[in-house]
Amino acid sequence: MPRLVALCAAVLTVAAGLGVRAFFDGPVSKNAGDALYTVLIYTLVVLVLPRVRPWVAAVPAVGASWAIEFAQLGEIPAVLRPLLGSTFNPPDLFWYAVGAVSAWAAHTLWLRRAG
């Protein structure tokens, strides 16, 4: 995937996250935000490694999201809490997987259409 496409996907992901927060609240906003967090990590992996296979990009994206969630079982420094969160929430693990699978599916579809 070209870097410009990955960069646009990252920007659109951030915009979608901000839009969800602006127009929704409660579990819709929270769960979509969790999924989009992983999608952003996925797009950053693709930005750095543009020829990466979709499943290879999905593994570190969901892995990083899960690692950050599990880190919340300990103490997150106050300066990092807005980015990393502060409270472990087991259902978040599911929504991170939803984000990784969604990004993997979109990337796979992109490659099939482009190829």
Q: Are 110 and 43 in contact (CB under 8 A)?
A: no
Q: Measured between alpha carbons, how far is residue 78 from residues 11, 32, 65, 75, 84 in Å?
A: 26, 24, 19, 9, 10
Average predicted confidence (pLDDT) for the chain: 94
pLDDT tens, 15-37?
999 999 999 989 999 999 999 99
The answer, yes or no, to whether residue 67 has pLDDT greater than 90, is: yes
Give backbone dihedrals phi and psi of 2, rounded to 5 degrees, phi first. -60, 145
**3-state secondary structure at position 110:** helix
Domain assignment of residue 80, given as a range = 3-114
Would you list the DSSP string of 26-94? THHHHHHHHHHHHHHHHHHHHHHSTT--HHHHHHHHHHHHHHHHHHTTSPPPGGGHHHH-SS--HHHHH
pLDDT of residue 1: 82
pLDDT of residue 83: 84
The answer, yes or no, to whether residue 2 has pLDDT greater than 90, is: no
Q: How many domains does the chain have?
A: 1
The answer, yes or no, to whether residue 85 has pLDDT greater than 90, is: no
Q: Give the pTM.
A: 0.91
